[in-house]
Amino acid sequence: NAGVMQNPRHLVRRRGQEARLRCSPMKGHSHVYWYRQLPEEGLKFMVYLQKENIIDESGMPKERFSAEFPKEGPSILRIQQVVRGDSAAYFCASSQTGESSYEQYFGPGTRLTVT
Amino acid sequence: SQQGEEDPQALSIQEGENATMNCSYKTSINNLQWYRQNSGRGLVHLILIRSNEREKHSGRLRVTLDTSKKSSSLLITASRAADTASYFCATDGESGGSNYKLTFGKGTLLTVNP
């Protein structure tokens, strides 16, 4: 049973370019969460999605960031016009339900570097 | 202090010794989870303890939860060099709020010397 898959593992973008990060949840999981980890920091919640629905995007920056989880295919976190401050590790997690009693399983992360 | 704050920030021990890490939080929770992160890697789920539980074991791991003090501890017994990693606690269920949104602390960096 494959775990949460994320790609790419490493992404380098120049300032002003777009970054697309992909996440495939564990088999049987329909709830996806995105977190961001800045250097020397813990993870910070960004957004919670179910298939075709954004449930909670309270942790997303108001501009340039968007997320989707289409009916088919992986969840995508999109960052437009990246800036140096977007450099971080972005982790995706999935769970069986949205209840906290079910563990969230994390992917290996995408490390974004903005030059 | 922020929700889910671990201490110490760094801990260095010898192989075979026990390691204890603590986590404090501010608001009521439903559950508390501990994760491990090896350098440059993703998070590995270690253990979940519910707010009505006081202690939980998993292999060499022992987690306690004291909701009156809003604190938890993670004990790793008979540590191994492979236990070297950062350890994070994550809380959920901020009072009246969602219970899926995990709040992480900055972690404890554990180094186990061979």
Q: Residue B43 and residue A31: Cβ atoms within 8 Å?
A: no
Q: In the prediction, which pLDDT does A100 show?
A: 55
Q: Identify which has the larger pLDDT, B85 or A103.
A: B85
What are the tokens at B27? Answer: 């608001």
Percent of chain B with pLDDT over 90: 61
Of the pLDDT bands very low, low, confident and very high (cuts 50, 70, 90), residue A98 is: low
Which of B44, B50, B104 minimises the CB distance to A42?
B104
Which residues of chain A are at the B interface, by a Cβ-Cβ cutoff of 8 Å? 4, 6, 31, 33, 35, 40-45, 48, 56, 58-59, 91, 93, 95, 98-101, 103-109, 111
Q: Residue A43 and residue B43: Cβ atoms within 8 Å?
A: yes
Q: What angle do CA B70, B72, A104 make, to 5 degrees?
A: 105
> Is B84:B95 a contact under the CB 8 Å cutoff?
no
Of B46, B72, B44, B45, which is closest to residue B59 (Cα–Cα)?
Answer: B46
